[in-house]
Amino acid sequence: MSSIAAWCTMENFLRNDKRRLRHFGVVQIMIGMINLTFGITLYYAATFVVAIRLWVPWWAGFLFVISGALTMWNVDSPEPRVKKFAMIFNFISAVAGALAAVIYIISTMMSRAGTAIYISRAPMLILALLFLYCVVELIIALLCGIILCKN
């Protein structure tokens, strides 16, 4: 029990561990690919959703994939230029994750309020999953950006 409590401290979590950064990069790439895939599904299921009209799953997914690839590249490359690019793209990805999450909430609320268009259950589930993935990406991108800034 004490080892789990010791691992969950902020100092331990923000350590510059190469393996941890590589895992964060892999998760960012996976979240980006999931966003792109669910975006295609949502496009064919409900083309009238605000998030689809603004192309949110695609630009957010591409930014997540790019920030994940740069985070993984930073682990292998000792160049400070790669570290700067990874740090910048992680913060851009965090902003994109927050903006995408807000747009997904707006899309869901507009369909629930009856002011726009009713969305069936499957696209609502996809919107909820995309929202959750964007929140996870926001947290991971912020952690990666802070770790890269700190070290």
pLDDT tens per residue across span 34-62: 999 999 988 888 777 888 889 999 999 99
Note whether residue 141 is domain-resident: yes
Note whether residue 5 is domain-resident: no
Note whether residue 12 is domain-resident: no
Mean pLDDT score, 21-39: 93
Checking if the pLDDT of 69 tops 90, the result is yes
Note whether residue 24 is domain-resident: yes
Torsion of CA 53, 59, 65, 70, to 10 degrees: -170
Domain count along the chain: 1
pLDDT band at 100 (very low <50, low <70, confident <90, very high): very high
**Residues near 25 by Cβ (< 8 Å), separated by ≥ 6?**
68, 69, 70, 71, 72, 75, 144
Closest CA to 107 of 48, 20, 24, 27: 48
Note whether residue 101 is domain-resident: yes
* 87 against 4, higher pLDDT: 87
Checking if the pLDDT of 1 tops 50, the result is no
Checking if the pLDDT of 31 tops 80, the result is yes
pLDDT band at 29 (very low <50, low <70, confident <90, very high): very high
Note whether residue 50 is domain-resident: yes
Residue 94's pLDDT is what?
96
Checking if the pLDDT of 20 tops 90, the result is no
Mean pLDDT score, 109-125: 65
**What does the block give as tokens for 30?**
């996976």
Q: Give the structural domain span for 101.
A: 19-150
Instruction: Answer yes or no: are the C-beta atoms of 117 and 48 closer than 8 Å.
Output: yes
Query: Which residue has tokens 């807000």?
Result: 102
Residue 79's pLDDT is what?
87
Closest CA to 32 of 126, 128, 96: 96
Q: Can you give the pTM of this predicted structure?
A: 0.83
